[in-house]
Structure 1
């Protein structure tokens, strides 16, 4: 026979029983006992969402600033892989807000935006790497410029950091968002004094 319910350790109730030998009538069960409840939002807070959200905002602003420098100096086509990094700023704001208040729709929205940010960070890395493959002759001479190469490497490094931040935040937010809502019972532990 299979069990239809299983304890998931979200709620742990510990009931200390008195000694059977020393118990009088009605003295075996205690008047108080402990109950520990693991809140999924509190587990999410262990991932430090405020700090990671602030880091996402900083990375997004820095990528846009560096991308604007590249676009002003070497052509507007480079805004293609830097300007959509405003998504990092939006993800950072939502992550910071999710860490500030236990409002679950904000946590879910932050989770969705971090998944999108993860895919954009991957796409930005690929686009930034292969941007000058089909460039014109004048742009090819610019692509050999050490300043241009350095700025592109900086954008790639920042997108790599955003990729790592998005992965970490997706991990911690999934602990708050993706949790079982049914078929769970509290784990009850009865301890007996000897």
Structure 2
């Protein structure tokens, strides 16, 4: 027969039993025992989403400002690879909001926007490096590379909160007897 439920490390309950020789009637089980619960949202908070979200927001603003300088100098055709960096701003706001409140739809939306930002940062790096003619494009490439790194880090930590198994898990119960 195959087990349909398996214990995982999300909840560990430890019950210390008294010594069978030294305890009297009814004193084998303790009144209190420890239960450790590993919350997926608290694991996500270890990734520092507020700080990374603020960095994403700053990168998005810088890229759009530099893009407007390039557009002013070389024409509006260069907005193609700087204007979609507004995704970085949206991702930063959502990452900061996800770090502020444990509202799972915000975390999921931030996860989706960070995946899209990851792909846009890769696309922006490729688009900027094709016809390099301005020193400002190098700055945009560096900022997009930083955004790529930030998006990867946030995707890693948000996946720990979003992609978790809800079913078929039971708490791990360990019973320890005193010596």
Return the alpha-carbon distance in structure 2 between the equivalents of residues 77 and 129 of structure 1. 16
Deviations 1:160-194 (A, max 9, x none): 00000000000000000000011100010111100
Q: Where does residue 161 of structure 1 map in the other structure?
A: 146
Q: Where does residue 139 of structure 1 map in the other structure?
A: none
Return the alpha-carbon distance in structure 2 between the equivalents of residues 80 and 87 of structure 1. 13
Answering whether residue 173 of structure 2 is matched by residue 188 of structure 1, we say: yes
Return the alpha-carbon distance in structure 1 between the equivalents of residues 14 and 45 of structure 2. 25
SS in 1 for 2:11: strand
Deviating more after overlay: 22-31 vs 93-102: 22-31
Q: Where does residue 160 of structure 2 map in the other structure?
A: 175
In our comparison, the structure showing a higher alpha carbon Rg is: 1
Query: TM-score when scaled to structure 2?
Result: 0.98
Q: Where does residue 47 of structure 2 map in the other structure?
A: 47
Counterparts of 1:26-105 in structure 2, within 5 Å, are 26-105=26-105
Answering whether residue 127 of structure 2 is matched by residue 127 of structure 1, we say: yes
Return the alpha-carbon distance in structure 2 between the equivalents of residues 86 and 78 of structure 1. 15
Return the alpha-carbon distance in structure 2 between the equivalents of residues 105 and 131 of structure 1. 40
Structure 1 residue 95 displacement after superposition: 0.3
Return the alpha-carbon distance in structure 2 between the equivalents of residues 131 and 94 of structure 1. 33
Query: TM-score when scaled to structure 1?
Result: 0.90
Deviations 1:73-131 (A, max 9, x none): 11211111011100000000000000000000000000000000000001111111114
Return the alpha-carbon distance in structure 2 between the equivalents of residues 2 and 165 of structure 1. 42
Structure 1 residue 3 displacement after superposition: 2.0
Return the alpha-carbon distance in structure 1 between the equivalents of residues 123 and 40 of structure 2. 31
SS in 2 for 1:26: coil
Q: Unpaired segments of 5 or more residues in structure 2?
A: none
Q: Unpaired segments of 5 or more residues in structure 1?
A: 133-142
Deviations 1:22-67 (A, max 9, x none): 0111111001111111100000000000000000000000000011
- Following TM superposition, the consecutive aligned residue runs of length 4 or more in structure 1 with deviations greater than 4 angstroms are none
